[in-house]
Amino acid sequence: MNQVPVLITCDDRFLPTYAKPGDAGADLRAAESVAIAAHGRATIKTGVSIALPFGYVGLVHPRSGLAAKFGVTVLNSPGTIDAGYRGEISVTLYNSSNEDFKVEIGDRIAQLLIQQVEIAKFVKVERLPNSERADNGFGSTGVN
């Protein structure tokens, strides 16, 4: 898949774009100005709708610069855009800092990755096959 139909509901500057050749994520921009209070969250419209083919997913990831410089990240990271969704993409940002953060129209707020997915067929079984890890959960591999 090389082409994904994109519906721009604002103007053309909101078209997802790759900053550099070889980048995995295309930048999503804010289509509205929003102030995010310290330790608060806001859902921000991007002005973009996409039509993914069956078997693909859009994943909304944080931008590392926003996280490192300002403590702002995508709250439900990664956000999932299912193939059947045709509405506008919105991004919920969380401000982990002690200062309010202002998002302006056109600011790059997240990255959109398009990936192929395997649709699983879930089968009920009486027991699972053994593995080296077994049912050891969180922290079972240690700290170091």
| Strand 6-8, strand 48-50: pairing | antiparallel
pLDDT in tens, the chain (144 residues): 577 877 777 788 899 999 999 999 999 999 999 999 999 999 999 999 999 888 899 999 999 999 999 999 999 999 999 999 999 999 999 999 999 999 999 999 999 999 999 999 999 999 989 988 888 777 777 777
Kindly report the backbone phi and psi dihedral angles of residue 90, in degrees, each rounded to the nearest multiple of 5, phi listed first. Answer: -120, 155
Q: What is the pTM of this model?
A: 0.86
Per-residue model confidence (pLDDT) at position 1: 56
Which residue is it, tokens 């053994």? Answer: 130
- On whether the CB atoms of residues 9 and 88 are closer than 8 A, the answer is yes
Per-residue model confidence (pLDDT) at position 32: 97
Between 3.40.50.10490, 3.30.460.10, 2.70.40.10, 3.20.20.70, what CATH number should domain 6-116 receive?
Answer: 2.70.40.10
Ordered by start, the domain boundaries in the chain are 6-116
What is the C-alpha to C-alpha distance for residues 101 and 104, in angstroms, rounded to an integer?
A: 10
- Torsion angle, CA of 122/127/131/135, rounded to 10 degrees? 90
